[in-house]
Amino acid sequence: MVGYRWRCQACQAGNEPNLDKCAFCGCPANAGSEDIEKHINPDAFKKKKAKEEYSKSLFIYFFIPFFAANHALNGRYESLVIILAIVAFISVKNINLLIHIWNDRWARMTLITIASVFMISILYRRVFMLDDSPHVWLLALSYLVLSPLSYYYFFKSENGERVFGDYYSKYKK
């Protein structure tokens, strides 16, 4: 129980000291930013959380070929089996998402292209570039630049927003 008059952070209404929830909207007096956001616009909050889950679920697929190629070239086949088992588990868990991505030509081609670029870059690095080459830093820099660019292109571009909107309206509502 709050011991003073307080203003609700969600609806800006004034409340009496004996209330621990807003008398107008029901938002708790000690609500955090996430609770306030959820109270102000529940649908937008739900969509935001779904988009976070969507991007976390898909982003791993950008790097799977990269790690698989690296472990295969290093002869770490037991690690490769573990990676593939984890991928299989995640894929079964997210089968609707993967089907949706596969059925959208732009999303399918973009995901395959990004994953292939990462895989080809690590294969090039491991097969053709010596460890003491002065150009190793350039390839490392390209990974650092390519990661956020690919994330932006796949999730924040107009087509990326369209693919998520289609997925959200089909599976998450």
pLDDT average, residue stretch 26-52: 86
pLDDT average, residue stretch 40-48: 86
Q: Which amino acid makes up residue 128?
A: F
Instruction: With H, G, I as helix, E, B as strand and everything else as coil, classify residue 140.
Output: helix
Domain shared by 78 and 91, yes or no: yes
**43 vs 156: CA distance, rounded Å:** 20
Domain shared by 149 and 88, yes or no: yes
pLDDT grade for 28, boundaries at 50, 70 and 90: confident
Number of Cβ atoms within 10 Å of the Cβ of 140: 12
**159 vs 173: CA distance, rounded Å:** 20
Domain shared by 75 and 23, yes or no: no
Domain shared by 12 and 90, yes or no: no
Domain count, the chain: 2
**66 vs 90: CA distance, rounded Å:** 17
What's the whole-model pTM score? 0.69
Domain shared by 9 and 71, yes or no: no
Domain shared by 88 and 19, yes or no: no
pLDDT tens-place string over residues 1-19: 567 888 888 888 888 888 8
Domain shared by 61 and 34, yes or no: no
Domain shared by 81 and 35, yes or no: no
Instruction: With H, G, I as helix, E, B as strand and everything else as coil, classify residue 24.
Output: coil
Domain shared by 108 and 163, yes or no: yes
Domain shared by 23 and 106, yes or no: no
Domain shared by 10 and 26, yes or no: yes
> Which residues, including other chains, have CB under 8 Å from residue 97's CB and lie 6 or more apart?
54, 57, 58, 167, 171
pLDDT tens-place string over residues 58-91: 888 888 887 888 777 778 888 888 888 988 998 9
Of 98, 37, 115, give the one whose Cα is nearest residue 25. 37
Range of the domain at 98: 42-172
Domain shared by 79 and 150, yes or no: yes
